[in-house]
Chain A
Amino acid sequence: MDLIANHISHRFGDLAVLDDVSFAVSAGEVVAIVGPSGCGKSTLLSILGGLLQPTSGAPELRGAPPADSLNPLTFVFQDFALLPWATVEENVEFPLLHTKLSAAQRRAQVEDALRRTGLTDFRKTYPKQLSGGMRQRVGISRALAVRPAILLMDEPLSALDSQTRELLMEDFVRLLADGGMGAVYVTHNLEEAARLADRIVVLSRRPGRIREVVTVPMTRTERGEIAARERLLALQNQIWSLIRNEAIDAEREVQHA
Chain B
Amino acid sequence: MLDRAGTPAKDETTRRVRFRGAGFVPASSRFGGWIALALVIAIWQAAGSAGLVNPLFLPAPLAIVRAIYDLAMSGALWQHLSASILRIGVGWVLGTAAGVAVGFAIGLSRLARSVGITFISALFPIPKIALLPLLILWLGIGEEPKIATIALGVFFSTAISVYSGVDAVPRNLIRMAQSFNVPFVTIVRKVIWPGALPAILAGFRITASVALLLVVSAEMIGAQYGIGAFVLQAGNLMQTDQLLAGVVILSVFGLAVGKVIGWLETRLLHWR
Contact = CB atoms under 8 A, between A and B. Distances in A.
Contacts of B191: 83
Interface residues of B, number: 19
Contact of B190 (A49, A50, A73, A83): A83
A85 interface: yes
B190 A81 contact: no
Nearest to B176: A81
A86 B186 CA distance: 14
A228 to B, nearest CB: 34
Nearest to B269: A85
A81 B175 contact: yes
Interface string B170-196: 001101111111110010001100110
B271 interface: yes
Contact of B182 (A73, A84, A95): A95
Contacts of A71: 179-181
B179 A74 contact: yes
A126 interface: yes
B180 A74 contact: yes
Secondary structure call for the A interface: loop
A63 B204 CA distance: 53
A71 B177 CA distance: 12
Contact of A97 (B173, B179, B190): B190
B179 A83 contact: no
Contacts of B172: 77, 79, 81
B194 A85 contact: yes
A174 interface: no
A98 B186 contact: yes
Contacts of B272: 84, 128
Contacts of B195: 85
Nearest to B183: A98
A73 B175 CA distance: 14
Contact of A75 (B179, B183, B186, B269): B179
Nearest to A73: B179
Contacts of A79: 172
Closest 5 CB pairs of A and B: A95-B180, A81-B176, A85-B271, A75-B179, A85-B194
26 contacts: A49-B179, A51-B175, A51-B178, A71-B179, A74-B180, A75-B176, A75-B179, A77-B172, A81-B172, A81-B173, A81-B176, A83-B173, A84-B271, A85-B195, A94-B177, A94-B180, A94-B190, A95-B180, A95-B182, A97-B182, A97-B190, A98-B181, A98-B183, A126-B271, A128-B272, A146-B180
Given A51-B175, A83-B173, A84-B271, 13 more contacts: A49-B179, A50-B179, A71-B179, A77-B172, A81-B172, A81-B176, A83-B191, A85-B269, A85-B271, A97-B182, A98-B181, A98-B182, A128-B272
